[in-house]
Amino acid sequence: MVDVINSGSILRRIVETRREAIAHRKRVLPLVALKIAVEKIARPPRDFAAALTRPGPNVIAELKKASPSRGVLREDYRPASLAQSLEKAGAAALSVLTEEEFFQGSLAHLKEARKAVAIPVLRKDFVVDMWQVWEARAAEADSFLLIAGLLDDASLRGLLELGRDLGMEAVVEVHDRAELARALGARARIIGVNNRDLATFHVRLETSFELAEAIPEDCIAVSESGIRAHDDLERLQRAGFDAFLVGEHLMTWPDPGRALRGLLAPASPGRQNSNVDETVW
C-alpha cells in the first residue's frame, strides 16, 4: 500500500472494511461460480472507452445514494429511473457506487441501472482484488475504477490486464504526476484525474490542467470533481480532456436529468450556469 491509505482515517477504514467484506464474500461465492456466471449468463460488455470519445462533452453521470462526509444524498434513490433520466439528458456513460457500508451502494443498484439503459456502466468501488473484477463482470459492469494510490504496481497491472481479458477497460484514477507515471507504466488507457486531494478533501480544478499535458494523446483523459459550469467543460476540453465525471451534484437535485442538461448546455446570454459543487467520493 502507498501513502494515500495513511492520509486519512476515513479512507483507511473504508479500505479495511472493504477487504473484510471481500474475504467474507469469497467464502460465500467462490471464484469458480463467478467465472461460470461470466461465461454462461452475463451479456457482453458495452464499449466504455468508445462512449467517452464521442464528439462534444462526454459526461459520466454518477449514481450515489450516500457519502461518508454528507450522509444520505438522496432518499428517493431508484437506480433504474435515475439511469434512464440521465441517459435521456445526454450522459455518455454511468458510474454506480457499489460500496455498501459507507456509500449505501450495492451491485444490485448497478444491475438495475444497466438493465434500464443502453449506455455503458462503470462499477465505482474500492477494487483491490482480482475477485472483484470477476464479480463486476458477472454483474454486467462494462468498466470499473482502479485508484492508483491504493495499489502497488504489480496489482495495478494485473487488475488492468484481467479487466481487458474480460472485455472491460478500467479507469485508473490519479491525483498527481507520480501516480500518473505509475498508471502509464501499467499501460492504463483511460486516465481519471481526481481534482480532490484525498488527504485534505480540498478540490482544485487546476489539478486537471496541471496534468493534462502529461497524459498521452492515445489515452482517454477524464476529469473528476470540481466541475462547476459548462464553461469548465469547455476549458477542460480545450486542455485535452475527453470526458468528465459528475456525481454528487446530480444526486442532490430534485431532477438529476435537468441538472445534467443544464451542465451540458452553454449558458444563455445574461445567464450563468448553476454552480456544481461536485465530489467524487
Closest residue by Cα to residue 245 from 77, 57, 99: 57
Record: fold of 3-263? TIM Barrel (3.20.20)
Q: What is the tens place of the pLDDT at every residue in 45-101?
A: 999 999 999 998 999 999 999 988 788 999 999 999 999 999 999 999 999 999 999
Exposed e or buried b for every residue in 153-166, given b needs 16+ CB within 10 A? eebbbebbebbeeb
Residues annotated catalytic, as ranges: 62, 64, 124, 173, 194, 224-225
**For residue 127, what are the contacts with CB-CB under 8 A and spacing of at least 6?**
133, 136, 144, 145, 146, 147, 159
Q: What is the tens place of the pLDDT at every residue in 91-142?
A: 999 999 999 999 999 999 999 999 999 999 999 999 999 999 999 999 999 9
pTM of the full structure: 0.91
**pLDDT score, position 268:** 55
263, with CB counted inside 10 A (0-12, 13-18, 19+), is buried
**Domain boundaries in the chain?**
3-263
Give the pLDDT band (50/70/90) at residue 273: very low
Instruction: Using the predicted structure, report yes or no on whether residue 4 has a pLDDT greater than 60.
Output: no
Give the pLDDT band (50/70/90) at residue 2: very low
